[in-house]
């Protein structure tokens, strides 16, 4: 065997085996993840691309409704992950969370400037929920956390369920409800989709909603532990580099 060929063979066998491409699913949730001109984009999508590149993991990004994503994650014959998943009790029974990739800012109330008088003197979500003439708009099927759910139930708050993020701003602008809850990174997109200008809206921090939620890549049963370890190492490197 020629020496050059033998060296090349040794180097080739020393390289880590390439894992098959992993499907990274995401819900349509701008600005975190959405489809634009047929391509996946958004804050969490672009962050995930950087992490996967550093981890040497090949992946494809596909938009999918949340219920179907969680059905796919439970299949052992499919290598797939959810981009930007929340650590909700029960999910770890059928998958693995990576280290956190992003931390949300606390929820705030978002409402029209012209309705400011309705919110004067109120400082907490519980006070807003207890006010009869204030209807709250929340995205259907989204989790806003145990405190929000508990206050809504306790105060029997008026809640309108919004079909998707695409309607949130427009329904607020047309006063289908008086306020919605959103995080800092979501507000510009809500206003853009409302058709109004930034000056037409106000935000109000709420004293009982100061939780910052971490978001993760949540991988299903079919993803090998070795791949998750590589992703975790890349997350550590990316977060360390951003400090």
Q: What is the pLDDT of residues 42-98, one digit of tens each?
A: 999 999 999 999 999 999 999 998 889 999 999 989 999 999 998 888 898 989 999
Whether residue 222 sits in one domain with residue 199? no
5 domain residue, yes or no: no
- What is the rounded distance in angstroms from the CA atom of residue 127 to the CA atom of residue 121? 9
pLDDT for residue 142: 82
Q: Please report which confidence band the pLDDT of residue 240 belongs to, taking 50, 70 and 90 as the band edges.
A: confident
CATH number of residue 95's parent domain? 3.40.190.10
Whether residue 235 sits in one domain with residue 177? no
Give mean pLDDT, residues 23-52: 95
CB 236 within 8 A of CB 228: no
Structure tokens at 218: 């949540």
Q: Please report which confidence band the pLDDT of residue 11 belongs to, taking 50, 70 and 90 as the band edges.
A: very low
Q: For residue range 152-182, what is the model confidence (pLDDT) as tens digits? A: 999 999 999 999 888 999 999 999 999 999 9
pLDDT for residue 19: 54
Q: Please report which confidence band the pLDDT of residue 34 belongs to, taking 50, 70 and 90 as the band edges.
A: very high
Q: How many CB atoms lie within 10 A of CB 239?
A: 14
- What is the rounded distance in angstroms from the CA atom of residue 117 to the CA atom of residue 221? 51
Whether residue 174 sits in one domain with residue 130? yes
Q: For residue range 103-146, what is the model confidence (pLDDT) as tens digits? A: 999 999 999 999 999 999 999 999 999 999 999 999 997 888 88
pLDDT for residue 243: 65
Query: Which has the higher per-residue pLDDT, 8 or 227?
Result: 227
Q: For residue range 183-237, what is the model confidence (pLDDT) as tens digits? A: 999 999 999 999 999 999 999 999 999 988 899 999 998 999 999 999 999 999 9
Whether residue 71 sits in one domain with residue 126? no
121 domain residue, yes or no: yes
pLDDT for residue 178: 98
12 domain residue, yes or no: no
Number of domains in the chain: 2
140 domain residue, yes or no: yes
Whether residue 66 sits in one domain with residue 97? yes
Domain range for 223 is: 19-103+213-241
pLDDT for residue 242: 73
Q: Please report which confidence band the pLDDT of residue 7 belongs to, taking 50, 70 and 90 as the band edges.
A: very low
pLDDT for residue 2: 43
6 domain residue, yes or no: no
CA distances to 49, 71, 108, 120, 149 from 125, rounded to whole Å, are 36, 33, 9, 13, 11
Whether residue 190 sits in one domain with residue 164? yes
């Amino acid at each position: 065997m020629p020496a050059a060929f033998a060296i090349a063979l040794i180097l080739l066998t020393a390289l880590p085996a390439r894992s098959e491409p992993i499907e990274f699913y995401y819900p349509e949730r701008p600005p975190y993840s959405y489809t634009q001109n047929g391509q996946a984009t958004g804050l969490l999508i672009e962050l995930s691309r950087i992490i996967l590149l550093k981890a040497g993991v090949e992946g494809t990004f596909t938009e999918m409704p949340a219920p179907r994503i969680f059905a796919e994650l439970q299949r052992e014959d499919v290598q797939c992950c959810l981009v930007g998943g929340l650590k909700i009790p029960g999910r770890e029974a059928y998958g693995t969370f990576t280290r956190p990739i992003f931390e949300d800012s606390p929820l705030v109330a978002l409402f029209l400037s012209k309705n400011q008088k309705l919110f004067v003197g109120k400082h907490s979500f519980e006070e807003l929920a207890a006010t009869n003439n204030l209807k709250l708009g929340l995205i259907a099927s989204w989790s806003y956390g145990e405190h929000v759910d508990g206050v809504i139930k306790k105060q029997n708050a008026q809640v309108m369920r919004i079909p998707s993020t695409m309607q949130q701003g427009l329904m607020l602008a047309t006063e289908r409800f008086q306020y919605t809850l959103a995080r800092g990174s979501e507000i510009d997109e809500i206003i853009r989709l409302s058709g109004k200008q930034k000056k037409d809206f106000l935000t109000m921090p709420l004293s009982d909603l100061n939780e910052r939620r971490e978001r993760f890549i949540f991988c299903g049963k079919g993803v090998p532990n070795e791949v998750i370890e590589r992703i975790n190492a890349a997350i550590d490197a990316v977060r360390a580099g951003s400090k």
